[in-house]
Amino acid sequence: MSPPLSKAADGHAMSDMASTYLDALRAAGANLVIAAHLLPLYFGAEDRHSLGNLGVALFFLLSGFLIMQSMLNWLNKPEPRFAGFFADRVARIMTPYVPALIVIAILNAMLVTTRHGLEGANSGVLAFLGNLLMLQDHAVFQALELAGMDVSWRIRPYNTAEPFWTVAIEMWIYVAMGLFVFCVLKRERIERWRGVVLVAFAVPVLIWNAAAGGGKSLSLIWLLGAIAGYLFHVWRANGYANMRSIASVVTVFASVALIGHCGKAGFHPFDFQTATLLAMIMFGVLALLMCVKSAPGVLRGSVNFLASYSYSLYLIHNTVLILVLEYVHTESAWTHVAIAVVAAHCCAYLLYVTFERHYRIVGRWLRPMFERALAPRGAVQTAPVAAELVAGSTVAATRQER
């Protein structure tokens, strides 16, 4: 049974139906990206309906919403807060990412016979290390290109791992926003030079992707989700006053506006106006579903299962699709597609079971190391509080985080 909304004081808890809805969005986002990659690979067609962009936009809106909730929750904990938040984000992103990168590099060296992605370093040691450090398509490379400089060593996502470009953006947004909330707004002190290095890598990505980059406005789309997360936090403090009426008006207004906008300008999820209307619909529906206390068990279980490995699916699916394309041959294109999709899901679930689902353990291991590394010089070292913080965290939201 889900807790009453009036008792969701930790910033995370919500009804089973609302949680199921967020899980459904996560699962849908990953599968939309798969569909977008299937079209050119297996049918030689363009993604005319922007399915992949829609999937990425959903991920960034959800990420902003949930990470804002996480940061607000961290504000209720004792310092050091940025170090703990940063360690948790690194654990969440890197636990499946590192093994996925290793496997993809091996598969590309041994089995993949084609080149994918854009010009630049997208295979070999340099590309591997660059992807490991989340430097693929970094804002600095893009700024050099804008300045007319031909950078042949520009680091790209690792060949068949084309979706990796968004993972780096998301990681550096986490760092930039964490620094802003904990170190600027709350004046938490960290080791100066390590802080300078983090700012140098993270802030350019946040700024660049607010106006340019692969998605043209991914930072702003993430911030839309974060604003929604903060508004829900404030709304909760006021007892979710007039929830049904406000959510209904917002959802209907945004739906009508989006239909009109798409009719005139087309559907472009990375367009900020389109993303804003999508966010209003998405979180308006979430507010409506928060009024529904429970979800059918079968629905909840199946959606939760599909969402559980959605991040692993996002990481590894394109490599699996390409391998099936190159090594499996069938007379029917749709049979070929079915084999590729099933294989992608199976490999993703294996990655999830083996690595991704253990990210909390990795977070507990990383947190004291991050606390020591980021502690200001001369600060008194206290015993790590990782176990206490993890024990006191709410499972409902971390289950939703990407």
The pLDDT tens digits of the residues spanning 120-145 come to 788 899 999 999 999 999 998 888 88
225 has a pLDDT exceeding 60: yes
pLDDT in tens, 326-349: 999 998 999 999 999 999 999 999
d(CA 52, CA 223): 20
Going by C-beta distance under 8 Å and a sequence separation of 6 or more, which residues neighbour residue 399?
19, 304
Over residues 101-126, the mean pLDDT reads 89
180 against 123, higher pLDDT: 180
User: Is residue 21 a contact partner of residue 66, using CB atoms and an 8 Å limit?
Assistant: no
Q: Tokens 């780096």 label which residue?
A: 168
Query: pLDDT value at position 216?
Result: 86
Query: pLDDT value at position 6?
Result: 35
Per the structure block, which two tokens stand in for 183?
A: 């170190």
383 has a pLDDT exceeding 70: no
How far does CA 355 lie from the centroid of its chain?
A: 17
Query: pLDDT value at position 226?
Result: 97
2 has a pLDDT exceeding 60: no
Q: Which of 167, 182, 172, 168 is nearest to 71 (CA)?
A: 182
Going by C-beta distance under 8 Å and a sequence separation of 6 or more, which residues neighbour residue 164?
101, 131, 136, 157, 158, 315
Categorize the per-residue pLDDT at 117 as very low, low, confident or very high, splitting at 50, 70 and 90: confident
Mean pLDDT of the chain: 89
d(CA 41, CA 65): 33
399 against 297, higher pLDDT: 297
For the chain, give the number of residues: 402
Amino acid code (one letter) for 6: S
d(CA 381, CA 207): 34
d(CA 309, CA 390): 22
d(CA 194, CA 321): 40
Q: Which of 24, 14, 65 is nearest to 291 (CA)?
A: 14
Query: pLDDT value at position 397?
Result: 45
Query: pLDDT value at position 379?
Result: 65
User: Is residue 135 a contact partner of residue 167, using CB atoms and an 8 Å limit?
Assistant: no
5 against 344, higher pLDDT: 344
Amino acid code (one letter) for 200: A
Q: Tokens 């569909």 label which residue?
A: 35
pLDDT in tens, 31-60: 999 999 999 999 988 888 889 999 999 999
